[in-house]
Amino acid sequence: MNRSVIFDSPFLLGFEHTRSLIERAAKAAAESYPPYNVEDRGEGGIRITLAVAGFTPEQLEVSVEDRQLTVMGRRDGNAAPTDDAFLHRGIAARGFIRSFVLADGMVVDEASLEHGLLHIDLSRPEPEKRVLKVPIRTRA
């Protein structure tokens, strides 16, 4: 794995997690199936829409682990073969895993399947403002 020179600077201590996020985002960007849109819904809301035609809700899974949103589609491996003779078969019939790296504080509000589109709504609630007062010790 290549290490970025910028994160090896002695002035950026404790940014290993940031490097890991960047690497995960680069890996996720290389995926191409299924196609998706990311929409700004205003006031911190985001909607991710994936084209998942042919998948049922039971074949789809949406999960969040360690700030990574993962959408997985599984096709039944034991489906009966059809006798249909396709002249062209352009609709993908394969499973997939699509990942998105979420910023701190992003939460998944809901996921819904409508007309072959999986909508995942996210929001970023306002963080609670905290002030930490650090005591100053004196040494005699």
Average pLDDT over residues 13-37: 72
User: Given pLDDT bands bounded at 50, 70 and 90, which one contains residue 9?
Assistant: low
| pLDDT, tens digit, 9 for 90 and up, residues 82-131 | 667 888 877 767 899 999 989 888 999 999 999 999 999 999 988 788 99
The predicted-structure confidence for 58-69, as pLDDT tens digits, reads as follows 999 999 998 899
**pLDDT at site 11:** 65
- 65-68's contacts with Cβ under 8 Å and 24+ in sequence apart are 67/21, 67/101, 67/102, 67/103, 67/104, 67/106, 68/24, 68/99, 68/100, 68/101, 68/102
- Domains along the chain? 32-79+89-123 (2.60.40.790)
